[in-house]
Each structure stands twice: as structure tokens, then as C-alpha cells.
Structure 1
């Protein structure tokens, strides 16, 4: 208001004086930008997020599309979605994704929900996905979730990258470690936040072992696998997401991220063959060996 002309400021003051006190205060907030002061992201709060391990939402936890305040949704930037991480403040989320599309409340909001559309490449056609961002007690992002896991594949397509050719005098000896996905991740989870404490500890110990024993580390290949339950596209996206999460945790524990390649094989390379199609406890148990993450370490020692 200090930049207004004197006569404009006088008229504005008279107008506000004629309003009830509460309405006048709200008008001042609107004219001031409707924003409270931001806050720094403290190291203690970041450490709290790293320790968080919240369970993922269920389908019924997502709001109905018909209850959205902005029912049209939005066509998001893929780069913005790929930049989302845990430990971000609300200002940073708004900068990437804008405001949520549902009425989330006034104070103490711990969840933002979005309606995002993605082009199919067939003229004006698009698919609609629901995206949820959850915040912890420090109001930092503690998890990002898609209602349909297949939507995650639209942001990060499960395409295996070719292994770069390395010219070497002799083939590098490889060592393969297989970790059961059931002991690594929460059921149907694939993000870093879905890693179980025991699974996180296994990957961290493996990172220490690799750095101690691999004298000439040439590369690491992390491959995710699923069982045959669920759709092919869902399994491909889930297996790649799990491989990417293992790579991220290896990098957090000292492994050069540039040396780690990931790929998702979905259900294409089973190690156990089981009869039946109905999702019974017996079939789920029989297929357990197929739900795995394989880590191949390439060491250039002769």
C-alpha cells in the first residue's frame, strides 16, 4: 500500500473503515497477497523426514473427482513431477505443481490432492490420474502417491536403457545379489518411502560391502522383478520403481549414482512356476521368489 498515490490511499482507508472489522482484516490480507511469511527448511526437520516411513494411502483415501474445487484439473509438467522429493516445503511444491485441486482446509493441512491429465499421443485424447502429496508434522513432504500405479509409468516410462559398451582387456567379473522384494518394500510399494526398515538396512550394508571390496568398480545393474499377478504395465512400472529406489538408497550411502543402471523386467523373468490364476494365499506364497530385486556388481579386477 505504500506505493499508492495519496488520494488512492485515502479512499482505500475510508472504504475499509466502512466495513465490519473482520471483513476489513480479510480485505487487507487479500490486498497483501494472501500469503504468510515463509520458513526455512531446518536440518532437524529434514532428518525427521528421512526417518519417516508412513504407509501408502489406499484407493479409498483419495477424494472423489466430483468433490474437486477445480474439477478441470491440469496438464502438469513432467519435469516438475520428476523434481518432486520428500523433504520439500509447501512453497516449493506450489512452485512445481501449483495449488491443489481440492479444498483441503484452512490450517494444519497435511495432504494435497491433484487431478492431472496426460496426453496419449492420439489427437486430443488424454488419461486422467489422481496424485496425492502428504506432509509430516514439520509440514515437509513425506510421500507422493498415484491412485493408479500405472500413472507413475506415464511420468517415468519403464524403458530399459542399453548397457554402455566398456572396452576392457578382459570381461569384468560380476557378482549378483538377490534381495526378496517382500522383505524390502511395503506391499505394492516401490518408492524410497516404501522401503521397510529391514530392507533399507540390507541395502545400506550392501553399499558398505561394495565400497570395501570392489577395488575397480565398473558398474552396478539393479533389476526389479515382480510376479505375474496384476497387469503387465503395472508390473513393469512397479519393478522399475523398486530398482530406482534401490539405486537412490545406494547413492545415499556413498555409491556413485552414475555407475548404477536400473531396469524393470516386470513379470517377464520368473524363477518359480506356479499353477492357478486366482489370487489365493497359496499362489501368492508360491510366487514369492519372483518378487525380487537383483543387484549385479561389476568389478574390474583381473
Structure 2
């Protein structure tokens, strides 16, 4: 009995799709590490894909935003990682895998030479980032902020510390009326420095209540809100940076108690620090 031509064509198409999918899966397997631990903190065998095997849109690697790259830390989910440094540069996949690989380019200070580095993120079983690796390992040093030039008899810099509870409602990132007033006063002082103002670094912090990823995101939104407000009132935007550090660097430790008591005790840790270079 002769086969029906349409059925043969359909079978051939399905076979071709299956073979293509298998080829992509096998290619991806060659790009990822083996036996990634459940907690995402190690792998039985670390595999680095060849830098030339990136997807076409990432050919040659990218120049990352250093401020964003410095915010990479354990506990971020994949959407937060992609917001900071983009999606992976290889074909290992996006949502189902537990490893993302990148090729980053860095321009060396004082020269036109470019350093090419590979960066790897391992995720735990909940797809939260847990460990980070560089190849070569020395590439990690490229993220270090340059040391400020020494100034003779210059007093150590101290930040202006603004209470997050005074700027924002609890667990929110929208400015309160008191927050508007405080930042209006600061913006006026910063504008008054004119060309003397070199940089304004805004760092947001939360208390230890809540999840790590949530706190990091909240602290980042609050720092960005302060930056946007100051820039909207005339502070030069190219001199202002915003960074959230979540529950890091607490200034007060509190014993366990009722939630209300703990929230009140931890208030000093919910803060926004503003580091100003060039203000008299």
C-alpha cells in the first residue's frame, strides 16, 4: 500500500524538529557544569564554555555596567539577575537551568587594552543565585572601585544618614511628605556646590526582617527614589549613583521580641546613607 504524501511530509517535518531539538539540547549540555549541588554553592565538575560559542547576539561578549555587576549577590532570582547583567550569553537555556554563563569585556584603566573575562552564576534548586565564579579568577579584581586620590590633611569622609522611616512609610519606597522636605533641603545644598561637587553616592539599607532578595530589591528601589528626586531638583545626574545593600552592615542588633518591638528596635538599620565628595 502506498503511503499518503501529506502524512510522509508531516512525519519528515516532525523528525526534523526532533533532531534539531536534540542537537540544541546536546549543545547546551556541553556548555554547563556537571552535578551542581542542591544548594547551588558548588559543582562536581565546573565546565566553562568556549568564549567563541556564545549566541550570535552576544558574539564577542559585552561591556557590563560595573555598578550593576557589583550588586550581584546570593539570593537574587533569575529576573533580578537579568535586570542587573542581562540574560546568559550561551545556549544553556534561561528558566529551567541552574547555571548562567557570560563573556564580559573590561577596558583597563589608562589604556585602550580590553580584558576578556568569563563569569558564571550557579543557582540552587529554587533557582536563586548562590555562587559566582570568574575565569580567570583575577578578573574579580576588575570590579574593585578605584581608590580615591589621597588628599593632604583631608578628614575621613562620613555619610549623611537619613532614616528610612523618616523618608518612607514602612516597607514602601514612595517618599513621605517629611521625605520630600528633607531631600529638598539636601538638593539645595548640593546645587550650591556648583562645580565643586564631584560625586554623590546613595546607599539604601533595610533591617533583617523579610527575605534577602526582597530586602535587597527594596533597598535598591529606595536608593533609586532618592537619586531620582535629587536629580529632578537640579543635582547633576552624571554625578549621582544609587545602590541597595539590603540588610548588610547593620548598625544595631536587637534581641527577639514581638514584631512591633523588633521593628522599633531595628529602626536605625533602615536607613539611606549619602556619601558626598566635594561638599564644604
TM-score (normalised: structure 1): 0.43
TM-score (normalised: structure 2): 0.47
